[in-house]
Structure 1
Amino acid sequence: MDSVQPADAQMMRRHWLLLGACGWVLLILMFFSKFINFGFKIPGYTGSAEMIVWTLSSVATEQPSLRWPEKGATRPYVLSSVSPSVRELPDWQSVNEKRLELLSTVCRNSSLWNLTHTTVRKFVLDRIFVCDKHKILFCQTPKVGNTQWKKVLIVLNGKFPKIEAIPENLVHDHERNGLPRLSSMTDIEIHQRLNSYFKFFIVRDPFERLVSAFKDKFVKNPRFEPWYKHEIAPAIIRKYRKIHHDDGKRVGLQFEDFVRYLGDKTGRQHLDRAFGEHIIHWLTYTELCAPCDISYNVVGHHETLQLDAPYILKAAGINDQVSYPSIPAGITDYNRTKVEQYFTGISHRDISRLYAHYQGDFSLFGYQRPAFLLD
């Protein structure tokens, strides 16, 4: 027995040494895992330097601005600032491919054909800005942050060396901002660019976009465009307000009047012809950019612009040439409360007619039917 004990003791000592070594290896791996390929910062984004991370959540969030708008998704991609150990990094390219797949599917839906297809005529080509130097086409969809994208293209076209040097009053001056439109080119040049250039545009929840357009043009009017208040508003009031005279409480165009006008599919055609191109701020994405008739490479979403913008620059091959301007906190957040407030008191019939007009926009880009307004 005495001769066996030293052997047992030696085996026991080796066993504990092995366990100790394994423990040290685990500790070292845990330490280095904090620094190896679990997080990233968005390239080219000049806003907050806070680390941006991704997680996949099965719980719907109250902030649609922080999720990828997908095809009726119940498990949205959610942006959060959790610890590196729970990070999952979905591929932005696959997100864009899902958006384009949804777009293609809805474009083939015969029941929505009239809401999703349009002729690629001069009006559409007027909306598309050209950067020949980098072979880029950008279709303008008002009220989704287009001013900043125009600044990006102005710099790329060489009109100004950097975004900060561009005067604000020049951005929308299409005679002086150095941004040619596709409509200014010959048919051969147009087809060549449509078939070979990188093409993109940005979308936003359709009803929130309408609220933004109403506030910008008929309430605040920051760029001083008097025709909205003095010509367009009175014409809409005369045709669509049930009580035409102002009674002290309904001075100027009300959102209710605006909704009734937009939901009148055929009756407003005469007004729209009189209003001219001023109506671009509330036209559908189909009318503006013909997404079912032009093959776009990328569809960005206003609600996730802080994620989309740097990747659009990368996909276009210009991320080393220019950065998208910094995005103020909260400016792209979807505000359900604001939408509800504006639609309060508006009849279910008028909201339903409005939704019928913009149903193509909701379907093409994965925005959910606004049940809180329609049900």
Structure 2
Amino acid sequence: MEQRARKQRIMDVCSEMSSSKEFPKLTRPFDQIPNDELSDFIVDDVHRIIYCHIPKVAGTRWMSVMLILTGLLKSSGKPYTDPRHISSPIAHNPSNHLTFDKFPQLYGSHARQMMKDKLKNYTTFMFVRDPFVRLISAFRSKFIRPVELFYQNYGKMLMRTYGNVSDLPDTVEEAHAAGLKPTFQQFIAYVLDPKTRRNIFDKHCRQMYRLCHPCQVKYDFIGQLETIGTDAEQVLKLMKVDHLVQLPRAYTNFTEASWVRDWYEPIPTERRRELYKLYELDFKLFGYPKPDIVGDEETTP
């Protein structure tokens, strides 16, 4: 019943928005979605499964599960059998997965039809998360921890552009040793900056509907991180692979929904409302309530 409700909600929102000029790309035909926007669809031809990956929604664990199911990745000449033995860099390496954006090279002019055929005949699933909590998780994992790639690509830019910090160390280790880290307020300023909302909007904070296109793809299963224990069991049984692999439990604590007020309270109310507007479709499509921290729009008498 929960799955029916989740699917029906998506259908209702997509139908409601189909005539809206505010989100013209939301309900465009599947054929009009560029190939580079389909890179998160991971295909397992062995078990006829398609998983749409959303960063910061147990993505590493699900990508590890997909690697085991496809059998494409081997260790010491043998396929992996335990997702816990697959490191995050291996799980996230694009060369280890068959994804839709590779289809044009593989199938030429038949690529798009092949995608549609597989979407129709394979079991499709995705997992979602409260959008505001997902943003906190993205910030915590990429900027509070010393991640060199994100420091070079984003951290320096965040502190220079939104923090007016000019003299920055060369490496993330040096920066952290000097107490130089982007703040959550700077991160939110980046997310809200109109210049970043186009193509350079990093996937860790890109809207979930822009990654998995739920108005164009009818998913067989829509899981939520908040109920991942039971949802993971259900989807593995649905795909008839529960005897082959299990989703490993997380080794670190999830970002808690109760933290939302603490993290967002220092951000001005108007900016919180802008942020909600940016992720409003994710809240509506996937059934997450509007956060109390956003408040109601003030009306002029």
TM-score (normalised: structure 1): 0.65
**Contiguous gaps of at least 5 residues in structure 2:** 74-78, 104-110, 168-177, 297-301
Of 208, 223, 230 in structure 2, the residue corresponding to residue 285 of structure 1 is: 208
Q: Once the 2 structures are TM-superposed, how far is the Cα of residue 236 of structure 1 from its aligned partner?
A: 3.2
What SS is found at the alignment partner of 1:102? helix
Which runs of structure 2 are paired with 1:14-29 in the superposition (5 Å)?
Answer: none
**1:200 maps onto 2:152 in alignment:** no
| Distance 1:320-1:137 versus aligned 2 partners, 3 A rule | same
Q: Aligned pair 1:314/2:234, yes or no?
A: no
Q: Which amino acid aligns with 2:286?
A: F
1:354 to 262, 271, 275: 275
Identical aligned pairs, as a percentage? 26
Q: In structure 2, what is the equivalent of residue 260 of structure 1?
A: 189
Who is 2:47 aligned against?
134
2:9 is the alignment partner of 1:123: no
- Asked if the contact 1:303–1:333 (Cα under 8 Å) also holds between the matched residues in 2, the reply is no
1:97 aligns with 2:4: yes
Q: Which amino acid aligns with 1:181?
A: T
| Alpha-carbon separation, structure 2, partners of 1:331 and 1:209 | 13
Query: Structure 2 CA distance, aligned partners of 1:333 and 1:229?
Result: 21
Counterpart CA distance in 2 for 1:201 and 1:189 is: 20
CA shift in 2, pair 1:161/1:262, >3 Å: closer
1:267 alignment partner, SS class: helix
Are the counterparts in 2 of residues 124 and 290 from structure 1 also a CA contact under 8 Å? no
Q: Which runs of 5+ in 1 are unaligned?
A: 1-93
Q: Which residue number corresponds to residue 153 of structure 2?
A: 231
Structure 1 residue identity aligned to 2:288: Y
Q: CA deviation at 1:234?
A: 2.7
Determine the structure 2 residue equivalent to 1:4.
none
State how far apart, in whole Å, the 2-side matches of 1:114 and 1:341 are.
Answer: 34
Q: Residues of 2 paired with 1:352 and 1:250: CA distance?
A: 30
RMSD: 2.5
1: CA distance between counterparts of 2:255 and 2:189? 26
Question: Which is higher, the Rg of structure 1 or of structure 2?
Answer: 1
The Cα offsets for residues 303-324 of structure 1, whole Å up to 9 and x where unpaired, read as: 0000100100111122222222
C-alpha spacing 1:113/1:148, structure 2 compared with 1 (3 Å): same
TM-score normalized by the length of structure 2: 0.80
Give the aligned residue type for 1:167.
I
The equivalent residue for 2:98 is 180
Within-5 A mapping of 1:18-57 = none
2:24, 2:288 → 1: CA distance? Answer: 19
CA distance in 2 between partners of 1:103 and 1:349 (Å): 28
Instruction: Name the SS for the 1:108 alignment partner.
Output: helix
Contact 2:42–2:100 (CA<8 Å) still a contact in 1? yes
